[in-house]
Chain A
Amino acid sequence: MGQLETTLGGNREAFPETVWSSLLGAAGPATPEREAALNDLALVYWRPVYKFIRTAGKATIEDAKDLTQEFFGYLVEGDVLSRYDRTQARFRTFLKGVLRNFLSVERRDAGRLKRGGGKVVVSLDVQSLETAEFLAERGRSSPEQVFDRQWAAEVLAESLAELRRQLGAEDRAANLKVYEAWNGIDGAGEAPTYASIGRAFGLSEQQVKDHLAYARERLEKIIRDRLARRVTSACELSDEIRDLLAG
């Protein structure tokens, strides 16, 4: 990574303030902005963090839930976020490092007092995460990989939901259906073609291609906007998009 950042990271001063700006400054009093920023951070990252914890050690589901809560408390109460240097690493990379470190310290102080309880308002419904796929994935992948995949899935899923909402509101449901059909698999278990989709929806192949191009473009824009709110530089944005799509 890093190549773009180290060579270009410094010259993007004008990048807009992001949702998390108030978190990334020096530790300060618990202002409402800070609280809101932490909530946003937790919304995006609690599932990746939870999965990381479940993959990194032998934490039970309940332990992992507690540790996840505590981790976000630790983030907001300590001055750890103020140590983030955007010229050195991406925020996501930084966060994984902090989490690793947090877990090793937590394990050492197994009997420590719980911190940060109640600060995080996300309710941790982990049932949907504890799937057979996840259990298999845990055996194969490092916690960092699991974390990144969950993050990508998160961003994609919420962007897709937004795409559905927007296209629905604009009366472009056909666009969406074509796009979903293209990325789905038909009943016969075969990968769809322009022709097969055209037949199913009564469209010409060119129309199918146009629909797909339009939906992709909208989805990309949504993804970009979402990511842009939570990164600190344009190059970080480019890198995040690249990572997200790299699978």
Chain B
Amino acid sequence: MGDADTTDPGATAQFLDRIRGDLAASRRLRLGALAVARGLVTQAQLDETPALAPLEETLVARGWLRPSQLEELLEDLDGLRRRGDPGAPRYEVGAKLGEGAVSVVHRGTDRELGRPVALKFLKDSLLAHGKVRERFHREAQSLARMDHPHVVRVHDVGRVDGRLALVMELVEGEPFGRTARPLREAVALLEQAARGVHHAHEKGVVHRDLKPDNILVGRDGAAKVADFGLAHLAESGPALTHTGSVLGTPMYMAPEQVRGRHEITPRTDVYALGAILYQVLTGRPPHEAQSVSEVYDKILRDDPVPPRKLVPTLPWELDAVALRALEKDPARRYPSAFAFAEELRRFLAGEAVEARPVSTLARAWRRAARNPLRIALVVALFVAAGFALDSRARARRGELAARAGDFLESARTHLERGALDAARDLVEQALATAPDLPLAHLRRGEVWEAGGFTAQAEACFRRAAELDPRPGPAHYRLGRVLLRRAYLASINMWTAEDPAERDEAERLAREGAAHLETAAGFEDEVRREIAAAMLAWLRRDLPGARRICAEGIRKFGSRDGVEELHWLDGLSRSKPAEEIPCYDAALALRPRFALALYSRAWALPRVGKSGDADFDAAILAAPGFAEPYIFRGSHRLVKGDAAGARADFDTLIGMGVHLAPAHNGRAGVRLKLDRDWDGAIADATEAIRRKPEGYHIPWMYRAEAKLMKGDAEGAIADATRALEILKGKDGGQTPYAIRGRARAARGDRAGALEDLRKSGPAGAPFLKELEGAQK
């Protein structure tokens, strides 16, 4: 330690901070990777950990790791490293696992992280081509960005034993379709795979070669899609595409793929998913033939035999879903793998699927459409029947809606990740395409709501419910937003004094209840429970609400949405000590749950703790959520933090919401901290103008400011008004003190004494002075 005393010239505080940040970031990454490699957490869990909190704490706080596991992990993080032998290769190549047309796969070990990996080497014949090598690197980089529980993860790309290799997650298991499975189980696996495929689409990668062999089923029973982008890679090689041999079977290929590759879109993969579903249902691919060229021919020309013709016992829903995914025209297929996955989910959950059995007439029309010579005839027939214009207009609308649907689905995934700006852009694009699409308005509202902008969200949900008045999510969302307003109104202090606002809260609650009732019976079961619990809460049936929450929590564990049940459970309790654990549970599931943060911030002071941190967190989580600013501003005012308090009230004024309390708060800052009497009078006047009844504080502030300016008359009038509003309730001491001082200033000694005697400690010094002077 002899050098500790010499000041290091390179080690400025700033430089040290950067070094520290750099080390912390790299350690965090390695710790996370190690935890995932050990199977202690999933990558998805890791991704939702807050970046600012220490990862160690989050892992334990969420209950993912026991402290002892964390301890082991931390020791291994330091112990496993390549100590003293930094030159040793990172990956050890093990036994060969399999071989495809393009690549050879080996088992391997990542020494640095101590985890097994799969090493996929491109075949040497391909590597001879510089273009392939370059592409390999580029593809690998986009693959490494993919990160989904149902996509085989690509960790790294580089040279292993001198050969170019992809370092991938090792899936111990077997390809989909090797083992016969019950239908529902196979459909569930295909749903997972479709979600993985959708994730890739979002990252701009189309698989192009989906087939049962590329869907791996791990020992944990989860499906993972492999080999993204490799088909693409092979195509860039020398004249491999046309032989058909490199890509293996063409059975799952979409028509546009057969025709040429410029039309490849995510819907090409939707077709392949449909083909795999077809195979699951019927035991054979949709088109079979003796030669490759014959298969191509069939893919282009023939409609697949409906699965129910082959297996009459199949549920009609799956038949319809498969045929819709296998539509020859990409625009008629599901717009995305996500939509396909949702259909399978709906089928599994016993909900109605969107696909409809296609009628014989429609089939005839479409066959004709593929054959221009026959179109004229069919159109003529339809015109005679008065159909054609209508059906074409509908088709056009359907196409636009499908395109808007793509935007909206993408928006939804962004929304789920909290990328609000991206989600908003996509929603606006969808609205530009289809301005009256109810789903677009619904999603726009969801984006606003996620940012805490409730008023805007409410308007959007109303529009969506107007456009589509049938029971559905718009009513649920609208009911929920109204509930939120009713809840906020019920705890806002400036409301409690005003019967008009209390009535408004009641009205909101009733309207919210009506919408929730309309919404009932839609969407998934968790939402239904939430709606039921909210209804009970809105009707002040607190025991009922608690019972529903408890049941839902027990039934659904940590499924998406259960955090709202925990929150409602907390709202339905009357003792803060019981409320807080509910909010804790909600926040453990969704740390950025602004309303739960806000509710906890209210409960904490009632058990003698500070809620300030939760107000801060609520503001961070939902910057458009106005209420926390009011309370944080007020706390800052009480603590004497003028700049902070003013910033909060200015934010509210800038947002144009809660203007009465905002101007009132700023009046307080100007009066108490700035001693700017004119400013205080201006703000208090504005607060009074916006809310002349039921809110005494701005009157009181203005009275005091007028008194300080020497306007005793004005001060007396305002203080009198404040006292009238209070009607003898608590809080009158300060107005009495102000009026007493104003009366004294005007020479009304008797009146002053009367007021000051009622003013408690607030007026005590003045009372003493006045009584002294009297003697």
Q: Which residues of A contact B (CB under 8 A)?
A: 3-4, 7-8, 40, 43-44, 122-123, 125, 128, 133, 152-154, 156-158, 160-162, 164, 180, 182-184, 206, 213-214, 216-217, 219-221, 223-224, 234-235, 238, 242, 244-247
By beta carbon, the residue of chain B nearest A3 is: B67
> Can you spell out 10 A-B residue pairs with CB atoms less than 8 angstroms apart?
A3-B60, A4-B70, A43-B4, A43-B5, A128-B7, A153-B11, A160-B19, A164-B10, A224-B78, A247-B20
B27 within 8 A of A: yes
Is B23 in contact with chain A by the CB < 8 A criterion? yes
Partner of B16, one of A125, A153, A214, A224: A153
The docked-state distance in angstroms from the alpha carbon of A46 to that of B644 is: 36
Q: Is A122 within 8 A of B18, CB to CB?
A: no
CA gap between A4 and B70 in the complex, in Å: 9
Name the residue among B21, B60, B78 with the largest chain A CB count within 10 angstroms.
B78
B-chain residues with CB within 8 Å of residue A219 when the two chains form the complex:
19, 23
Min distance, Cβ A128 to any Cβ of chain B, angstroms? 5
Question: Which residue of B70, B71, B81, B158 contacts A217 across the interface (Cβ within 8 Å)?
Answer: B81
Q: Are A245 and B75 in contact (CB under 8 A)?
A: no
Is A247 within 8 A of B21, CB to CB?
yes
- Assess whether B17 is interfacial by the CB under 8 Å rule: yes
Q: Are B86 and A217 in contact (CB under 8 A)?
A: yes
Q: Judge whether B3 and A4 touch: CB under 8 Å.
A: no
Please, which residue of chain A has its CB at the minimum distance from the CB of B159? A206
Bound: A158/B3 CA distance, A: 7
B75 near A158: Cβ-Cβ < 8 Å:
no
> How many B residues touch the partner, as a band?
35 or more
Identify which of A164, A206, A245 contacts B24 (C-beta below 8 A).
A245
Contact partners of A122 in chain B: CB under 8 A: 5
Cross-interface CB contact of B4 among A4, A44, A224, A244, cutoff 8 Å: A44
- Are B3 and A161 in touch, CB under 8 angstroms? yes
A225–chain B nearest beta-carbon distance, Å: 10
Q: Is the interface of A mostly helix, strand, loop or mixed?
A: helix
Judge whether B455 is part of the interface by a CB distance below 8 angstroms: no
Q: How far apart are the CA atoms of A184 and B83 in the complex, in Å?
A: 27
Specify which chain B residues have a CB less than 8 angstroms from the CB of A238 in the assembled complex: 71, 74-75
- CB contact between B27 and one of A156, A214, A220 (< 8 Å): that residue: A220
The reply to whether A182 and B27 contact each other, CB–CB distance below 8 Å, is no
The answer, yes or no, to whether B8 is at the interface (CB within 8 Å) is: yes
User: Roughly how many angstroms separate A245 CA and B22 CA in the complex, as a whole number?
Assistant: 9
B11–A245 contact, CB under 8 A? Answer: no
> A158-B4, A221-B81, A223-B23 are known contacts; what are 11 more A-B pairs with Cβ within 8 Å?
A43-B4, A43-B5, A153-B11, A156-B19, A160-B16, A161-B3, A183-B19, A221-B83, A244-B20, A245-B20, A245-B27
Q: How far is the CB of B427 from chain A (nearest CB, A)?
A: 33
Kindly provide the distance from the CB of A46 to the nearest chain B CB, expressed in whole angstroms: 9
Given A156-B16, A180-B10, verify A216-B26 contact (CB < 8 Å).
yes
Q: State A25–B415 Cα separation when bound (angstroms).
A: 58
CA of A247 to CA of B20, assembled, Å: 7
Residues of A within 8 A of B22 (CB): 182-183, 216
Residue of B nearest to A213 (CB): B26
User: What is the minimal beta-carbon distance from A214 to any residue of chain B, in angstroms?
Assistant: 6
Question: Are B13 and A133 in touch, CB under 8 angstroms?
Answer: yes
Interchain CB contact under 8 A, A184 and B18: yes
Q: Which residues of A contact B6 (CB under 8 A)?
A: 161
Chain B neighbourhood of A125, CB < 8 A: 5
Asked if B362 is at the interface of the complex by the 8 Å CB criterion, the answer is no
| A183 CB contacts on chain B under 8 angstroms | 15, 18-19, 22
CA distance A184 to B67 in the complex (A): 36
Interface membership of B68, Cβ < 8 A: yes
Residue B1 at the A interface, CB < 8 A? Answer: yes
Closest chain B CB from A106 CB (angstroms): 25
Give every chain A residue within 8 A of B27 (Cβ-Cβ): 220, 245
Q: What distance in Å separates the Cβ of A198 from its nearest Cβ neighbour in chain B?
A: 16
Checking A156, A158, A213 against B20 with a beta-carbon cut-off of 8 angstroms, the contacting residue is A156
Given A7-B68, A180-B10, the answer on whether A247 and B24 have CB atoms closer than 8 Å is: yes
CA gap between A126 and B83 in the complex, in Å: 38
Q: Convert B70-111 into 0s and 1s, putting 1 for each residue whose CB lies closer than 8 angstroms to a CB of A.
A: 110011001001110010000000000000000000000000
